[in-house]
Homo-oligomer: A and B are copies of this chain.
Amino acid sequence: RFFSCGIGMAKSKFEYVRNFETDDTCLKNCYIVVRLDGRNFHKFSEQHNFSKPNDGRALGLMTRSARSVMEDMDDVIISYGQSDEYSFVFKRSTNWFKRRASKLMTHVASHFSSSYVFYWKDYFGDQPLLYPPGFDGRVVLYPSNRNLRDYLSWRQADCHINNLYNTVFWTLVQRGGLTTTQAEDRLKRTLAADKNEIMFSEFDINYNNEPPIYRKGTSLIWKKMEETVTKHVELPDEEEKEVLVTRTRRRVSACHCDIVGDQFWEEHPDILEDDNC
């Protein structure tokens, strides 16, 4: 009478389709980097009135979302973000999702995106979110500490180059009264030194004094914190007592420092694992 028995058997008949899935396990002993990029964020930033050249609320929300990802996946040893992108570095020896690339990148993309909407109000207040934003992602593997550091240096150099350009560009427009086309022409073929010079001589701005979050982007790492909590203890003689307990917890901590040079890495020797493993 009920058709379902047939279906019940049919299930096994269909189950062969599972074998079309392919294995995309990441090579062992490599750092796994997941990088997200905002989709059509140029348009998104216009529609949501991001201030130029940098919008503190938007950067804050990106970092809040990245923090949320790290707290969910504590094998991420460092994240680095700038503009509408964020990179998440999983430790060499991670076994999250059995190192399956598709699981790692979709989970990061999903969690980051839902966090972005979830925390929007905390950063943009009354300014409404007009539609759900999108981020796409990719996975890249790096076999050595040198390669990984060079990857992060590449992203921070990119941040620097873009921010320097954008800062001069919008200064020329907002304070210099140029049209955007004029500003573009003015900056064509200028080197970094020329741009610094324009800022300094025409607008009395020392670019190096601009906020580090704009010039350097944001790095999130784990820091060990001492935490003192009060614990309720029952003693053998049925007495009770309050005791102070100090324990160590890992907390996600943000900085806007240089990660190209050696100093950062010497100060945080626990981030990278030894190459010789």
A151's nearest neighbour on chain B, judged by CB, is B17
A271 to B1, alpha carbons, bound, how many Å? 32
Cα A15 to Cα B156 in complex, Å, equals 11
Contact check, B132 vs A111: say whether CB atoms are below 8 A apart: yes
A117's nearest neighbour on chain B, judged by CB, is B117
Are the C-beta atoms of B23 and A27 separated by less than 8 Å?
no
Binding stretch for chain B, among A5-13, A74-82, A225-233: A5-13
Instruction: Tell me if A30 counts as interface (CB < 8 A to partner B).
Output: yes
B contact residues around A276 at 8 Å (CB) = 144-146, 275
> Known: A30-B27, A136-B103, A140-B21. Contact between A193 and B14, CB under 8 A?
no
A248 within 8 A of B: no
**When the two chains form their complex, are residues B158 and A135 in contact, meaning their CB atoms are under 8 A apart?**
no
Interface residues of A in 99-117 (CB under 8 A from B): 101-103, 105-107, 109-117
Q: Are A277 and B144 in contact (CB under 8 A)?
A: yes
Partner of A143, one of B3, B24, B29, B105: B29
A208 interface hit (Cβ, 8 Å)? yes
- A4's partner among B97, B114, B207 (CB-CB below 8 A) is B207
A119 to B129, CA, bound (A): 11
| A57, CB-defined interface residue at 8 Å | no
Chain A: residues with Cβ within 8 Å of the partner, total of 85
Whether B110 contacts A134 by the Cβ 8 Å rule is: yes
Interface string of A18-60 (1 = CB under 8 A from B): 1111111101111000001001000000000000000000000
A105 to B101, CA, bound (A): 11
Question: Which residues on the B side are within 8 Å of A106 (C-beta)?
Answer: 36, 105-106, 109, 135-138
Residue A246 lies at the interface, judged by CB distance under 8 Å to chain B: no
List the B side residues contacting A139 at CB < 8 Å. Answer: 102
Distance in angstroms from A82 CB to nearest chain B CB is 13
Asked if B7 and A161 sit within 8 Å, CB to CB, the answer is yes
Give the 3 A-B residue pairs with the shortest CB-CB distance, closest first. A143-B143, A106-B137, A14-B154
30 CB-based A-B contacts, threshold 8 Å: A1-B193, A4-B207, A7-B161, A8-B157, A8-B191, A10-B260, A18-B154, A20-B142, A21-B138, A21-B140, A22-B141, A24-B24, A28-B147, A29-B147, A30-B143, A72-B134, A105-B105, A106-B109, A106-B135, A106-B138, A107-B109, A107-B136, A110-B112, A111-B113, A113-B113, A114-B132, A117-B117, A117-B118, A145-B275, A275-B276
